[in-house]
């Protein structure tokens, strides 16, 4: 009898201990720390989902930072980032956004009635592309708007945007990761890089200790304004790399030229870092500010300047290798030729120019003068830069001819 009691007691003890051993083993697996983690800014309020795509009820506020596993995963048809060391997943569209094409010229709004700027531009044009974050918002006027920046309020009417043309979050080639196999996120044999970029327009840069690198922004006139000096070793997530006239201004402001100067935009802000003062984790696409935001021409020969009424100014711009910005395409009646010609309006410049002016003896001689603000050149006399923003005529030949006949 005593023997039977001992056996029963032993079995009971084993049963009691077994669940504890099993629970400890499972806990060690689930709580394994995630690796390859990076801090990313949330651009649109994001609901957290579990690995099966069900809402957890947890929300992450816009413009807050979250520790995320750098490699995105798929849940169903969507792309998500896993929150480090939690069973929470955030939609990548709330972080990296998506790219849409502008279908109608549009302003940027901070409210339904108030306009604002976006990357120093007050108007965006048909054919350009832009990143939007998350779903649209319905404003008090009943219209829907997509967020395009922040933390300042920057929105574009959804009516003026086309469908998504690409996601800004890139899955690695042949990467079939789903939420079911990312719980432990074991590193491979290579060194883990916590600044690994995600998306073809995003990376992390580290401030070079050998330089005094300012964080800068631009005012409404595109003048360089210093925000603060970055700390050596400080890391930033950047989502845009730009060269061109604005980068040259920064180089001039800092007093450091390298021939390939560019600026990185700090994600979620309108603040920038000079490329020569930081070290990027990887390359991202280089954009030329002048090509993508302005219309430009080149003077392939000495070119006559005209007034708005089609008369000659008796000034010729000298052939140059650098481009000139233009802001309008218009038809003008030329009295001396008795016909309509197509003209570009030159964007005003404060710089003095090398020109030829008509002297009293009827010869053109070299001069150095400040141009007036209203200058036109014939389209047929210049070369339009094909990679820059195309212009549409602001009037028609028929309208000009009708005005002449009055």
pLDDT in tens, 355-397: 999 999 999 999 998 888 899 999 999 999 877 888 889 999 9
- Answer whether residue 191 is part of any domain: no
Whether the per-residue pLDDT at 288 is higher than 90: the answer is no
Query: How much is the pLDDT for 33?
Result: 75
* Percentage, residues of the chain above pLDDT 70: 83
Confidence of residue 5 (pLDDT cuts 50, 70, 90): very low
- CATH number of the domain to which 143 belongs: 2.30.30
Is 5 contained in some domain? no
Greater confidence (348 vs 401) lies with 401
On whether both 216 and 281 belong to a single domain, the answer is: yes
- b/e per residue, 279-315, with b = 16+ CB within 10 A? ebbeebeebbbbbebbbbbebeeebbbbeeebeebeb
Residue 83 maps to a domain: yes
Q: What is the mean pLDDT of the chain?
A: 81
Residue 43 confidence (pLDDT) above 60: yes
- Asked if residue 312 is part of any domain, the answer here is yes
User: Tokens in use for 93?
Assistant: 């569209």
* pLDDT for the residue numbered 175: 52
Mean pLDDT of 19-39: 53
Q: Between 196 and 275, whose confidence is greater?
A: 275
76 in the same domain as 47 = yes
* Confidence band, pLDDT 50/70/90 cuts, at residue 259: low
Nearest to 366 by CA among 295, 313, 320, 317: 317
pLDDT of residue 40: 86
Last-in-domain residue among 293, 310, 345 = 293
Do 209 and 131 share a structural domain? no
Percent of the chain at pLDDT exceeding 90: 39
* 65 and 175 part of one domain: yes
Q: What is the pLDDT of residue 219?
A: 87
Confidence class of residue 177 from pLDDT cuts 50, 70 and 90?
A: low
At 189, is the pLDDT very low, low, confident or very high (cuts 50, 70, 90)?
very low
Determine the pLDDT at residue 230.
92
CA gap 96, 373 in Å, rounded: 41
User: 337 falls in which pLDDT band (50, 70, 90)?
Assistant: very high
| Whether residue 90 sits in one domain with residue 175 | yes
Q: What is the H or E stretch that residue 230 is in?
A: none
pLDDT of residue 263: 94
Q: Cβ-count burial of 101 within 10 angstroms (0-12 exposed, 13-18 middle, 19+ buried)?
A: middle
Are residues 289 and 299 located together in one domain of the fold?
Answer: no
For residues 364 and 390, membership in a common domain is answered with: yes
- Is pLDDT larger for residue 239 or for residue 24? 239
| Closest alpha carbon to 82 in 94, 68, 92 | 68
Please state the pTM of the whole predicted model.
Answer: 0.43
Least confident of 123-127, 128-132, 294-298, 387-391: 387-391
26 or 229: which leads in pLDDT: 229
Among 320, 321, 302, residue whose Cα is nearest residue 377: 302
User: 27 versus 39: which is more confidently predicted?
Assistant: 39
Are 134 and 98 in contact by the 8 Å Cβ rule? The answer is: no
Determine which of 178-187, 218-227, 258-267, 351-360 has the lowest per-residue pLDDT on average. Answer: 178-187
More confident residue, 162 or 396: 396
Q: What is the pLDDT of residue 173?
A: 52
Report which of 266, 259, 260 is spatially closest to residue 213, judged by C-alpha positions.
266
Q: What's the whole-number mean pLDDT along residues 169-182?
A: 56
Q: What is the pLDDT of residues 297-332, one digit of tens each?
A: 999 999 999 999 999 999 999 988 678 889 899 999
Same domain, 330 and 210: no
Is residue 70 scored above 90 in pLDDT? Answer: no
Residues 227 and 323 occupy one common structural domain: no
What's the average model confidence in pLDDT over 202-227? 88
Q: Which of 181, 213, 233 is the last residue of a domain?
A: 181
Model pLDDT for residues 216-244, shown as the tens digit of each residue: 999 877 889 999 999 999 999 999 999 88
Highest mean pLDDT of the ranges 30-34, 183-187, 357-361: 357-361
> Can you spell out the DSSP letters for 297-348?
EE-SS-EEEE-TTS-EEEEEEPP-SS-EEEEEEEEEEETTTTEEEEEEEEPP
Q: What is the predicted pLDDT for the residue at 2?
A: 46
What is the 3-class SS of 181-224, one letter each residue?
Answer: HCCCCCCCCCCCCCCCCCCCCCEEEEECCCCCCEEEEECCCCCE
Q: CB atoms < 10 A from the CB of 341, how many?
A: 19
Does 125 have pLDDT greater than 70?
yes
Question: 170 vs 180, which has greater pLDDT?
Answer: 170
Structural domain range at position 321: 295-405
Query: Would residue 139 count as lying in a domain?
Result: yes
């Amino acid at each position: 009898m005593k023997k039977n009691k001992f056996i029963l007691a032993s079995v009971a003890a084993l049963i009691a201990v077994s669940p504890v051993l099993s629970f400890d083993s499972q806990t060690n697996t689930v709580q394994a720390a995630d690796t390859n983690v990076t801090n990313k800014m949330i651009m649109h309020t994001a609901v957290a989902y579990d690995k099966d795509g069900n809402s957890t009820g947890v929300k992450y506020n816009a413009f807050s930072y979250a520790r995320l596993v750098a490699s995105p995963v798929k849940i169903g048809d969507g792309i998500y980032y896993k929150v480090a060391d939690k069973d929470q997943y955030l939609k990548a569209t709330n972080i990296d956004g998506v790219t849409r094409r502008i279908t109608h010229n549009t302003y940027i709004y901070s409210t339904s009635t108030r306009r604002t700027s976006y990357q120093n531009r007050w108007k965006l044009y048909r054919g350009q592309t832009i990143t939007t974050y998350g779903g649209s918002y319905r404003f008090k006027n009943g219209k829907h708007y997509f967020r395009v920046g922040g933390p300042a309020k920057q929105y574009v009417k959804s009516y003026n945007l086309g469908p998504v043309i690409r996601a800004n979050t890139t899955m690695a080639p042949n990467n079939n990761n789903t939420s079911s196999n990312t719980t432990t996120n074991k590193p491979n044999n290579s060194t883990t890089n916590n600044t690994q970029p995600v998306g073809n327009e995003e990376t992390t840069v580290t401030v070079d200790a050998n330089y005094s690198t300012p964080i800068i922004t631009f005012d409404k006139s595109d003048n360089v304004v210093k925000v603060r000096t970055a700390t050596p070793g400080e890391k930033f997530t950047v989502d845009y790399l730009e060269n061109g006239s604005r980068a040259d201004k920064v180089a001039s402001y800092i007093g450091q030229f390298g021939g390939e100067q560019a600026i990185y935009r700090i994600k979620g802000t309108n603040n920038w870092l000079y490329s020569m003062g930081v070290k990027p984790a990887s390359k991202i696409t280089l954009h030329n500010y002048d090509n993508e935001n302005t219309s430009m021409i080149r003077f392939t020969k000495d070119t006559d300047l005209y007034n708005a009424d089609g008369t000659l100014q008796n000034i010729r711009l000298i052939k140059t290798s650098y481009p000139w910005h233009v802001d309008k395409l218009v038809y003008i009646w030329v009295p001396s030729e008795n016909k309509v010609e197509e003209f570009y309006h030159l964007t005003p410049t404060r710089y003095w120019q090398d020109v030829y002016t008509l002297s009293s003896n009827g010869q053109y001689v070299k001069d150095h003068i400040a141009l007036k603000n209203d200058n036109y050149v014939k389209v047929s006399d210049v070369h339009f830069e094909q990679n820059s923003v195309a212009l549409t005529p602001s009037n028609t030949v028929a309208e000009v001819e009708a005005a002449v006949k009055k």
